[in-house]
């Protein structure tokens, strides 16, 4: 009971923390919106007032000594600029402190604070407001792009409801939450439903899809006394299960615990502009400081002879270096990249995901449901007489292997009598008074079939024979590769991806064969979710960026543990989609190399914006330091910053003209 109370207290505490975070976020949004609207209003009104006052059109701090100034329109403009600037500056300080708490002591906000205070000190009030207003717009654009992507992702999540049909003592059935179930309770699992907790079948027999749990492509036949695991999907008929484990101890919960653990371990990634600011900000501050000290020193430390001019030049450098162009063009570039991806069925959860995807050179793939369809196909060439007998028998079964045999046969079925299904082994039936069997080799051996020719193959093999008679034929059945799987691997190699690795819970031999067919660097099978996780973490230890592509619940920990998790949204589970950084909205594998190409193009545009901005700013810094601009330095500094911003924005929006390279193919691989 004590433990239960502790759990309740913990849940209540977590709920309070979530509510507090939501309230804090709401207050932040209100203050940011208020500061932005106030800043815009003050900027426009102040600009109009200052331009209609010819006497004080060029502000200097000396005018504060002029009593007439306080009766002019320029004084009103000064008050408006200051009133609009202070809330924006406070917001900038707040954001900077939050970044510092995360260990980012020098960030983009640091530079904006220094630069705008410098601009304010030399009377360039509109510049102060422009920089901070554009910063807010840039953040809003990136937030909008990311949230739009996440909303699209949520639309893809179509989870089967996880609840339990609890069987009461009187036989009536009621719905219960899985958390409410106790050990030895009886629950009814209907066709198409997920098993909510681990248990054992006490009534009925069916077939279960375990692909989301262990990656196994073939359904598992189950009957009374068979252990079943939460997360499995019942395919055929109603079964009654006795609960053996509470929900918190079940297989599905353990996998979700792995997901939560990886979610906590996945450190907050650094924004690109923040990383850039680490180097840019101190460099600019040092240059401005040196410009002031050198100029002041050359004037024999005389304030009137050169100190004032040196300070003016230093502040002009800060003004020129103001990150206005960067704080607007870089988010626009990411916004455009995320938007282009969304239009092409590639949903990307933010700029950090784009940046990492561009750098990733190791791609790890799950097999079942990701590279393969889960639909089986007959790949051997049996004689038609044997195929007719096999197809006639299998037409009575709903097993995926049976469907593969039937789909390959195009003729009429023979009438089958005395049909018997032996779960996990095979089927029996009489055709024209002859008893035939089809299934595993052991199944035929146990029914006295002689002269069986064993087939060595990594794929599934069905054997056909006559009971107490001769072996007739073997049938090799394989899971089919998805459209474009080979082309996708080839296209990733074009994008300079060095390692293409397959990890799967399916049989080792099958996985290796698929790896050979696709040209994978490495293929490993028979892996549990935590074993996949260990492999990914090992590769990450070598400081490689790793992208993992998966679709099932069992892939969720790996999607989170990797640097970039990519899920196939069309068939992917809700857990996989939520755990991933990139979601492919359909089943087209060619969109993975397309996502890689788009990420690289986006980062190229971002770096181009930064390069152009820095080069032009350095040019104007040199002009200021060499006194070439003279008294026009301040005006040209302000104009140059706006001009550079326009150029960089035009470069950023050029990404909207992006054209996809990799087109979908329709041919299915064997």
Q: Which of 400-436 are b and which e, b meaning 16 or more Cβ less than 10 Å from the residue's Cβ?
A: bbbbbbbebbeeebeebeeeebeeebbbbbbbeeebb
Q: Where are the beta strands (DSSP E) in 124-198?
A: 164-167, 173-176, 186-189
For residue 428, give the H/E element and its range.
strand 426-431
DSSP 550: E
Bridge partners, 165 (sequence order):
175, 188
Q: Where are the beta strands (DSSP E) in 149-265?
A: 164-167, 173-176, 186-189, 199-203, 206-209, 220-222, 227-228, 233-234, 239-243
The answer to whether 371 touches 615, Cβ cutoff 8 Å, is no
Using DSSP, state whether 236 is helix, strand or coil.
coil
Query: How far apart, in whole angstroms, are the C-alpha atoms of residue 120 and residue 129?
Result: 9
Query: How far apart, in whole angstroms, are the C-alpha atoms of residue 29 and residue 18?
Result: 16
The one catalytic residue among 185, 198, 209, 366: 366
Structure tokens at 530: 């935590």
Q: Is 586 a catalytic residue?
A: no
C-alpha separations of 15 from 10, 22, 489 in Å: 9, 11, 45
Query: How far apart, in whole angstroms, are the C-alpha atoms of residue 565 and residue 559?
Result: 4
The answer to whether 594 touches 344, Cβ cutoff 8 Å, is yes
Bridge partners, 427 (sequence order):
421, 438
Please name which of 352, 361, 364, 363 lies closest in space to residue 603, comparing C-alpha atoms. Answer: 352
The answer to whether 491 touches 595, Cβ cutoff 8 Å, is no
For residue 285, give the H/E element and its range.
helix 272-298
Query: How far apart, in whole angstroms, are the C-alpha atoms of residue 481 and residue 403?
Result: 17
Query: How far apart, in whole angstroms, are the C-alpha atoms of residue 327 and residue 329?
Result: 6
Query: How far apart, in whole angstroms, are the C-alpha atoms of residue 636 and residue 387?
Result: 85
Please name which of 176, 199, 81 lies closest in space to residue 133, comparing C-alpha atoms. Answer: 81
Query: How far apart, in whole angstroms, are the C-alpha atoms of residue 505 and residue 607?
Result: 41
Structure tokens at 240: 């009654």
Query: How far apart, in whole angstroms, are the C-alpha atoms of residue 140 and residue 151?
Result: 16
Query: How far apart, in whole angstroms, are the C-alpha atoms of residue 21 and residue 18?
Result: 5
Structure tokens at 359: 């750098």
Measured at the CA of 80, the angle between CA 78 and CA 81, to 5 degrees, comes to 65
Query: How far apart, in whole angstroms, are the C-alpha atoms of residue 128 and residue 92?
Result: 12
What are the DSSP calls for 313-370, one per residue?
Answer: HHHHHHHHT-THHHHHHHHHHHHHHHHHHHHTTEEE--HHHHHHHHH--EEEEE-BTT
The answer to whether 271 touches 352, Cβ cutoff 8 Å, is yes
The size of the chain, in residues, is: 670
Residues classed as catalytic:
366
């Amino acid at each position: 009971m004590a433990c239960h109370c502790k759990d309740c207290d913990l849940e209540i505490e977590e709920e309070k923390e979530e509510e507090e975070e939501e309230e804090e976020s709401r207050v932040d949004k209100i203050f940011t919106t208020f500061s932005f609207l106030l800043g815009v209003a003050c900027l426009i009104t102040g600009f109009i007032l200052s331009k209609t006052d010819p006497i004080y059109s060029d502000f200097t701090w000396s005018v504060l000594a002029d009593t007439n100034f306080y009766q002019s329109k320029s004084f009103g403009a000064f008050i408006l600029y200051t009133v609009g600037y202070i809330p924006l500056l406070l917001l900038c300080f707040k954001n900077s402190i939050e970044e510092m708490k995360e260990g980012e002591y020098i960030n983009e906000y640091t530079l904006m604070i220094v630069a705008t205070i410098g601009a304010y000190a030399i009377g360039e009030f509109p510049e102060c407001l422009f920089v901070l207003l554009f910063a807010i717009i840039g953040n809003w654009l990136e937030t909008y792009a990311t949230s739009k992507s996440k909303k699209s992702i949520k639309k893809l999540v179509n989870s089967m409801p996880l609840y339990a049909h609890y069987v009461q003592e009187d036989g009536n059935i009621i719905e219960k939450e899985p958390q409410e179930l106790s050990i030895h309770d009886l629950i009814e699992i209907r066709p198409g439903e997920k098993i909510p907790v681990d248990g054992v079948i006490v009534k009925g027999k069916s077939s279960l899809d375990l692909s989301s749990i262990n990656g196994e492509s073939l359904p598992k036949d189950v009957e009374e006394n068979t252990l079943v695991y939460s997360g499995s999907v019942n395919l055929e008929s109603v079964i009654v299960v006795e609960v053996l484990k509470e929900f918190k101890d079940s297989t599905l919960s353990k996998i979700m615990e792995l997901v939560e653990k990886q979610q906590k371990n996945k450190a907050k990634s650094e924004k690109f502009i923040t990383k850039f600011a680490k180097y840019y900000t101190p460099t600019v501050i040092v240059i401005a400081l040196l410009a002031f000290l050198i100029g002041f020193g050359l004037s024999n430390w005389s304030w009137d002879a050169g100190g004032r001019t040196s300070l003016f030049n230093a502040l002009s450098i800060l003004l020129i270096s103001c990150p206005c162009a960067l704080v607007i063009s870089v988010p626009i570039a990411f916004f455009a990249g995320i938007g282009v991806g969304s239009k092409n069925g590639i949903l990307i959860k933010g700029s950090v995901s784009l940046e990492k995807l561009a750098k990733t050179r190791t791609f790890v793939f799950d097999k079942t449901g990701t590279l393969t369809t889960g639909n089986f196909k007959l790949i051997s060439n049996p004689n038609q007489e044997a195929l007719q007998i096999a197809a006639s028998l299998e037409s009575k079964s709903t097993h995926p292997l049976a469907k593969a045999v039937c789909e390959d046969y195009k003729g009429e079925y023979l009438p089958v009598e005395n049909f018997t299904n032996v779960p996990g082994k095979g089927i029996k039936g009489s055709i024209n008074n002859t008893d035939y069997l089809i299934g595993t080799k052991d199944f035929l051996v146990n029914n006295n079939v002689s002269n069986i020719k064993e087939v060595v193959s990594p794929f599934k093999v069905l054997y056909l024979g006559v009971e107490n008679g001769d072996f007739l034929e073997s049938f090799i059945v394989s899971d089919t590769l998805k459209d474009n799987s080979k082309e996708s691997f080839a296209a990733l190699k074009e994008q300079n991806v060095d390692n293409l690795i397959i990890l799967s819970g399916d049989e080792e031999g099958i996985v290796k064969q698929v790896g050979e067919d696709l040209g994978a660097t490495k293929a490993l099978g028979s892996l549990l979710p935590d074993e996949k996780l260990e492999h990914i973490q090992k590769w990450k230890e070598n400081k490689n960026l790793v992208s993992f592509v998966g679709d099932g619940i069992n892939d969720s920990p790996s999607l989170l543990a990797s640097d970039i998790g990519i899920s196939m949204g069309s068939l992917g589970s809700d857990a996989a989609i939520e755990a991933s950084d990139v979601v492919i909205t359909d089943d087209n594998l060619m969109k993975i190399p397309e996502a890689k190409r788009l990420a690289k193009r986006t980062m190229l545009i971002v770096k181009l914006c930064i390069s152009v901005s820095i080069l032009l700013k350095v040019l104007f810094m040199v002009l200021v330091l060499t006194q070439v601009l003279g008294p026009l330095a301040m005006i040209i500094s302000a104009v140059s910053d706006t001009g550079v911003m326009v150029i960089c924005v035009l470069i950023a929006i050029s990404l909207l003209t992006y054209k996809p390279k990799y087109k979908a193919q329709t041919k299915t691989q064997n």
